[in-house]
A and B are shown apart, each in its own frame.
Chain A
Amino acid sequence: MQSRPECPGVLFGGLILLLPFLLGWADSWEGIREASHRIASFEAQFVQKKTLPILAKPFVSQGRFFFQPPASLRWEYDDPMRSILLMHGGVVKRYLRDGAAWREESGSSLSVMQTVLTEIVNWQQGRFDANPHFQASLQTGPEPRVILVPKEASWKKMIRRIELTPSREQAGVMKSVRVVEDEHSFTLLEFHQVRLNRPLPGALFVNVE
């Protein structure tokens, strides 16, 4: 039975968010698992470039994200829209800047949150084979990549593949994530100013401000 991506935005967000921490340097799945186990915390800036057939140039967003095992995460967009996705203690929340205040976005179902959290645990341990939605393959060589291809028709309608490029300099860190929807539409996330294993306050994953 195929699972229907009832809230693909949240699932997609969880997927994009979590993969950077879980991939590694590795010419093997074992190496990826080892690298991900060595990460005590992760923080980075990111630039997101969205390419669409009706845009002359990519639409650029940017922000920051933070991760701390086992499953605490903050994905924050600063520009052009302010949005914060928080995951902590089994709870997923999204907040949007509404005028001078933050507003919690409603509509995300508990089951979707649970799905995201389950995938967090799997990816954190480098267990790509446990992901029910994507088939993972590792391209080794001078420019290693992890390629994720949807298993189900419902997902294939939205995403053709996800390409993850590990950083050469920092184990457990990735340089970029490219989500390909079709030959004219894709999203590129590039990470920079990466800091590893710094102590992060718990409030960062619970409170918006």
Chain B
Amino acid sequence: MNAVLYRLIPVLLTVLAIGACTTPHALLPLDPALISAVSTGCQRPFLRETRRLVHALEAELPDGRKGTGIGVLQADPRRRTFRTMFMTVEGLVLFDIEKGETLTVHRAVPPFDSSGFARRMEEDIGLAFFPPGASPLAWGLEKDGAPVCRFGSADGEMIDVLDRGGGAMEVRLYGDGQELRKRVVIPSFNRDGLAERIEIRSGVLPSYTLRLRLIESEAIPPEELPEAAVRKPVGQ
């Protein structure tokens, strides 16, 4: 009996997760004269140049536990490459991954060594900091009137970028089953056009929420970013 239950649990959880998801709805028509402006606005959440960013980071896990630390990110939006480190307030690096042609885990201290954590982090960074594509597949309006750019990907996923008004933006990732997988909310931007705060909510198991507050940022000129330096692993 117990064995049967154990086998059923993942199935039940999956069903519940899917049931809780939102299917990307059809967009209301957008005045074609506004497409250019909306497209420009849809680029606002994302980096336009290679940057170093330091964030205060809070992670909220499904059991209610919260962990806090410092996140350091060096990201190149053109090549969609990055290196990111998460450390304690005291400075101990717990997690260090690098995305070049492949994803490399330089360090993953428990509990960050769990299967799939690095992939989820890669996806979160891509969603929050990198433009989803060169040009949207569609433009439209939400029911509440928020302008939307809809991007697609070869693997069937879909990304909506919404202008929430008042300076706020939102990015939604839908899975290939059209379920809402992740949501990035950016309430405001600083004078450099960078997100001051970012909230990333994962709607799929294991659900979690990341909250980032920008502490420092620095643009990196291309001449200061030799490819070898970016991809050279620590300690080698």
B-contact 0/1 string along A1-28, CB 8 Å cutoff: 0001110110011001000000000000
Expressed in whole angstroms, the Cα–Cα distance for A50 and B121 within the complex equals 22
Q: Which residues of chain B in 40-58 are interfacial with respect to chain A, using CB atoms and an 8 Å cutoff?
A: 52, 54, 56, 58
The number of chain B residues touching the other chain, given as a range, is 20 to 34
Q: Please, how many residues of chain A have a CB less than 8 angstroms from a CB on the other chain?
A: 36
B interface SS class: strand
* Chain B residues, Cβ within 8 Å of A13: 88, 90
Given contacts A55-B72, A81-B68, A157-B107, contact A9 B83 (CB under 8 A): no
- B52 in complex: contacting residue of A8, A56, A157, A184, CB < 8 Å: A56
A106 contacts B92, C-beta separation under 8 Å: no
- Stretch touching chain B among A115-123, A133-141, A163-171, A175-183: A175-183
- Stretch touching chain A among B3-11, B22-30, B59-67, B182-190: B59-67
B234 contacts A59, C-beta separation under 8 Å: no
B68 contacts A96, C-beta separation under 8 Å: yes
Whether B235 is near chain A, meaning CB under 8 Å from some CB there, is yes
Whether B146 is near chain A, meaning CB under 8 Å from some CB there, is no
B215 contacts A52, C-beta separation under 8 Å: no
Chain B residue at minimum C-beta to C-beta distance from A58:
B91
Given contacts A50-B87, A54-B74, A59-B54, contact A184 B234 (CB under 8 A): yes
Expressed in whole angstroms, the Cα–Cα distance for A77 and B87 within the complex equals 15
A185 contacts B93, C-beta separation under 8 Å: yes
Whether A151 is near chain B, meaning CB under 8 Å from some CB there, is no
- B92 in complex: contacting residue of A55, A77, A183, A187, CB < 8 Å: A187
B234 contacts A53, C-beta separation under 8 Å: yes
B235 contacts A184, C-beta separation under 8 Å: yes
A12 contacts B88, C-beta separation under 8 Å: yes
Q: How far is the CB of A44 from chain B (nearest CB, A)?
A: 16
- B91 in complex: contacting residue of A5, A48, A105, A182, CB < 8 Å: A48
A8 contacts B70, C-beta separation under 8 Å: no
Expressed in whole angstroms, the Cα–Cα distance for A84 and B80 within the complex equals 37
* Chain B residues, Cβ within 8 Å of A187: 90-92
Expressed in whole angstroms, the Cα–Cα distance for A107 and B64 within the complex equals 10
B107 contacts A6, C-beta separation under 8 Å: no
- A107 in complex: contacting residue of B67, B85, B90, CB < 8 Å: B67
Whether B89 is near chain A, meaning CB under 8 Å from some CB there, is yes
- A12 in complex: contacting residue of B92, B107, B234, CB < 8 Å: B92
Q: How far is the CB of B138 from chain A (nearest CB, A)?
A: 37
Chain A residue at minimum C-beta to C-beta distance from B68:
A96
B89 contacts A54, C-beta separation under 8 Å: no
- B85 in complex: contacting residue of A52, A106, A159, A183, CB < 8 Å: A52
A59 contacts B70, C-beta separation under 8 Å: yes
> What 20 new A-B contacts, CB under 8 Å, besides A8-B94, A12-B90?
A8-B109, A12-B92, A16-B90, A80-B56, A80-B216, A83-B89, A105-B67, A105-B68, A106-B64, A106-B66, A107-B65, A107-B66, A107-B67, A157-B107, A158-B107, A179-B91, A179-B92, A182-B235, A184-B234, A185-B93
Q: Which residues of A contact B (CB under 8 A)?
A: 4-6, 8-9, 12-13, 16, 48, 50, 52-56, 59, 61, 77, 80-81, 83, 96, 103, 105-107, 157-159, 179, 181-185, 187
User: Can you give 13 contacting A-B residue pairs, CB < 8 Å?
Assistant: A6-B110, A12-B88, A13-B90, A53-B234, A55-B72, A56-B220, A61-B91, A80-B215, A80-B216, A81-B56, A83-B68, A83-B89, A185-B93
